[in-house]
């Protein structure tokens, strides 16, 4: 989506704020003993309070309000009834449709006491997102985003899950352009004013960069069981620094 008027900008900001409020509510509720299913129900209540619907449910028939992935699950995890335990790594991916506008963001966190490797993985993935947003400037080539993510992962020795990528977003979850999390020389088109992107690095402490889909048909996990982290924001390209719509 490219925002060209105030109506679209207001719509995207509303959707982004529902994302932020949902993530904050789930993050505050995460503790040992709670189940991802209960966290998904909480997300549903936040959505209802703000006139939002689950975009994955509307577009793809996903049986969830939000995706919740645990440990070696990377993205699109279906919330289960298995209680979270100390040391678990949990990723929460929130994508509401608010009156026809879609925003998308994710956070990962660990329940104490987490291993030093997991804590470094979380810090690196969040830093990769920050670096990617920093270079997403008007007129810069699209592939600078992936280059920034790739550099951050390599610097700290974590595995970039190359099969998964960011994307355009706005009226639907997945719009053009695709935003790979690595440098792709062909993607040299300049970023233009008003372009809305979901930027989402996904890294693992394992060695395998390829992924697999579980029997539920939704949950994507690492092939070698390595823990995975996922951070994401929806941003809009402006003449200055990008506007983070899901902050």
Strand partners, 70: 90
| 104 belongs to a structural domain | yes
Whose structure tokens read 């902050």? 247
Q: What is the pLDDT of residues 29-77, one digit of tens each?
A: 999 999 999 999 999 999 999 999 999 999 999 999 999 999 999 999 9
Q: Does the annotation flag 76 for ligand binding?
A: yes
Q: What is the DSSP-derived secondary structure letter of residue 231?
A: -
DSSP string computed for 104-172? -EEEEEEPSSPPHHHHHHHHHHHHHHHHHHHH--TTSBTHHHHHHHHHHHHHHTPEE-TT--EEE-SSS
Please, what is the average pLDDT of the chain? 98
Mean pLDDT in residue range 128-134 = 98
| 82 belongs to a structural domain | yes
d(CA 236, CA 45) in angstroms, rounded, equals 27
Q: How large a percentage of the chain has pLDDT more than 90?
A: 99
Indicate the SS3 state at residue 201: coil
pLDDT range class, residue 240, cuts 50, 70, 90: confident
pLDDT at 236: 98
| 83 belongs to a structural domain | yes
121-143 burial, b for 16+ CB within 10 Å, e for fewer? Answer: bbebbbbbbebbbebbbbeebbb
| CB contact at 8 A, 136 and 194 | no
Check which CATH number belongs to the domain holding 92 and give it: 3.90.230.10
Residue 88: pLDDT above 90?
yes
Q: Does the annotation flag 147 for ligand binding?
A: no
Q: Does the annotation flag 8 for ligand binding?
A: no
Q: What is the pLDDT of residues 183-205, one digit of tens each?
A: 999 999 999 999 999 999 999 99
Mean pLDDT in residue range 13-41 = 98
| CB contact at 8 A, 179 and 143 | no
Q: What is the pLDDT of residues 89-103, one digit of tens each?
A: 999 999 999 999 999
Q: Does the annotation flag 93 for ligand binding?
A: yes
Q: Does the annotation flag 193 for ligand binding?
A: no
Q: Does the annotation flag 81 for ligand binding?
A: no
pLDDT at 181: 98
Nearest to 182 by CA among 128, 243, 106: 128
Cα-based torsion angle of the residue sequence 140, 142, 145, 150 in order, rounded to the nearest 10 degrees: -120
pLDDT range class, residue 160, cuts 50, 70, 90: very high
| 1 belongs to a structural domain | no
Q: Which domain holds residue 71?
A: 6-244
What's the number of domains the chain is made of? Answer: 1
Q: How large a percentage of the chain has pLDDT more than 70?
A: 100
pLDDT at 232: 98
pLDDT at 84: 98
């Amino acid at each position: 989506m490219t925002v060209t008027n105030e109506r679209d900008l207001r719509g995207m900001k509303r959707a982004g704020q529902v994302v932020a409020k949902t993530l904050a509510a789930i993050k505050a509720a995460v503790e040992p003993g709670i189940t991802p299913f209960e966290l998904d129900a909480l997300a549903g209540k936040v959505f209802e309070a703000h006139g939002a619907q689950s975009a994955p449910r509307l577009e793809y028939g996903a049986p969830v309000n939000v995706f919740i992935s645990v440990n070696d699950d990377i993205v699109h995890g279906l919330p289960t009834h298995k209680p979270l335990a100390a040391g678990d790594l949990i990723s929460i991916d929130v994508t509401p449709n608010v009156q026809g506008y879609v925003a998308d963001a994710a956070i990962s966190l660990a329940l104490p006491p987490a291993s030093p490797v997991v804590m470094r993985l979380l810090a690196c993935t969040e830093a990769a997102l920050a670096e990617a947003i920093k270079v997403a400037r008007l007129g810069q080539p699209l592939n600078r985003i992936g280059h920034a993510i790739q550099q951050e992962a390599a610097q700290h020795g974590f595995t970039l899950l190359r099969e998964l990528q960011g994307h355009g977003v706005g009226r639907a979850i997945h719009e053009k352009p695709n935003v790979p999390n690595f440098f792709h020389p062909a993607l040299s088109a300049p970023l233009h004013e008003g372009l809305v992107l979901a930027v989402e690095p996904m890294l693992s402490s394992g060695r395998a960069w390829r992924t697999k889909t579980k029997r539920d048909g939704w949950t994507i996990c690492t092939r070698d069981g390595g823990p995975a982290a996922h951070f994401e924001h929806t941003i809009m390209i402006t003449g200055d620094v990008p506007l983070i719509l899901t902050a």
